[in-house]
Amino acid sequence: MRLILLGAPGAGKGTQAEILSKELNIPTISTGNILRAAMKEGTPTGLKAKEYVNAGKLVPDDVIIGIIKERLAEDDCKNGYILDGVPRTIPQAQAMEELGIVIDKALSIEVEDQTIIDRMSGRRTCKNCSRTFHMIFNPPIKEGVCDVCGGELDIRKDDMPETVKARLDVYHKETEPLKGFYENLGKLVKVDNQPGIEETTVEIRKALEI
């Protein structure tokens, strides 16, 4: 299964990707996580990405394509993968096609903007391993501490309310048109966000017939 997850920031792509990844035994590739790791390490890519990420803007397409090309060539991607947060623009999707990256399905998780705004205020991210939690819907066992690696939980700079609004604008303008792109290819599958994480996973399984 080579799957793309589409949806606004905070739609639950990362959370659902993690669940599907375990079930299908394929890796999740999140350009957001790769960029945050690069920023933390201060690599040339990280330094280039920083101003865009912190302002809620999209990182230039050529940087993203370089990351994806390198990552998908790794061994663990041979039997499939889940792309979380990429492609994010039509040119990225076109560039991926030109590279011969063929996907099976693009799954869009549909969520109202207001739900996203409310939800983002509760999101916490592990500073060390990038795993996300939610204060109400998916709390860590111990407050402020990552269940997986024991790292410190933090509010991502780009999860601050003003930046969330900017990211939603970018989503509607640049990323949402990808739904039409994949619909034309007969690959789009849509799922409405459900009140809980597990209910959304149930809908996704139905939609993907897995």
Q: How far is the CB of 64 from ligand AMP (least distance, A)?
A: 4
Name the amino acid, one letter, at 94: Q
Q: Which residues are catalytic?
A: 13, 88, 123, 156, 167
Inter-residue contact 93 to 14 (CB < 8 Å): no
Name the amino acid, one letter, at 80: G
**Beta-bridge partner residues of 35:** none
For ligand AMP, the nearest residue by Cβ is 32
Q: How far is the CB of 124 from ligand AMP (least distance, A)?
A: 14
Nearer to ligand AMP, 163 or 201 (CB): 163
Inter-residue contact 119 to 18 (CB < 8 Å): no
Nearer to ligand AMP, 70 or 202 (CB): 70
Nearer to ligand AMP, 52 or 137 (CB): 52
Binding site for ligand AMP (CB under 6 A): 9, 31-32, 35, 52-53, 56-59, 64, 85-88, 92, 158, 167
One-character DSSP codes across 172-203: IIIITHHHHHHHHTT-EEEEE--SSHHHHHHH
Collapsing DSSP to helix, strand or coil, 32 comes out as helix
**Beta-bridge partner residues of 59:** none
Q: How far is the CB of 115 from ligand AMP (least distance, A)?
A: 16
Q: How far is the CB of 13 from ligand AMP (least distance, A)?
A: 7
Strands across the sheet with 132-134, in order? 132-134, 123-126, 153-154
Nearer to ligand AMP, 74 or 210 (CB): 74
